């Protein structure tokens, strides 16, 4: 299987504390002729707090492999941060309640003769007074019940 990671722009900064990184160099494997067993050109970088490990042995130069491994690590950390933020966003989305019938916090029954707050049980017979803004009875009943 193949994993595809985004290439991080230099405009997006991913701060990596050097104290949180372990860098290992080792001899690359595979075809390469006589040069392969003489130098430690492969690079493995481990980001200790997240456990993310990247390695590169594409080039004969350790410097190029190191630079490419750092770019890969920045990309993986960037993706890790995106996933973390998406998980937090999803958690907020999941905590939303449905906006539908029966899911409202308070519902009022308004007919021609009365208004009733179904949560507190307060009823008023003067509907026009309530519609004009006189909500004191409803508010005080709600405060008394701690709603």
Domains, the chain, in order of start with CATH, read 18-95 (3.30.160.20), 108-145 (no CATH)
Q: Is the pTM of this model over 0.75?
A: no
What sign does the CA torsion over 27, 47, 85, 94 have?
positive
Angstrom distance (rounded) from CA 114 to CA 75: 63
Count other C-beta atoms under 10 Å from residue 73's C-beta: 23
* Residue 108 pLDDT: 66
pLDDT tens for 42-75 read: 899 999 999 999 999 888 888 999 999 999 999 9
DSSP state of 85: H
């Amino acid at each position: 299987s193949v994993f595809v990671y985004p290439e991080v722009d230099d405009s997006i900064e991913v701060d990596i504390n050097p104290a949180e990184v372990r860098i290992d160099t080792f001899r690359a494997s595979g075809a390469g002729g006589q040069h392969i067993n003489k130098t430690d050109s492969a690079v493995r970088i481990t980001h200790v707090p997240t456990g993310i490990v990247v390695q590169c042995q594409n080039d004969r130069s350790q410097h190029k492999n190191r630079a490419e491994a750092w770019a890969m690590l920045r990309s993986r950390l960037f993706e890790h941060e995106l996933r973390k933020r998406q998980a937090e966003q999803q958690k907020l989305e999941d905590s939303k309640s449905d906006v539908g019938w029966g899911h409202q916090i308070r519902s009022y029954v308004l007919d021609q003769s009365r208004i009733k707050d179904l949560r507190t049980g307060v009823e008023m017979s003067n509907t026009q007074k309530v519609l004009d803004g006189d909500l004191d009875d409803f508010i005080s009943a709600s405060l008394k019940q701690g709603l």
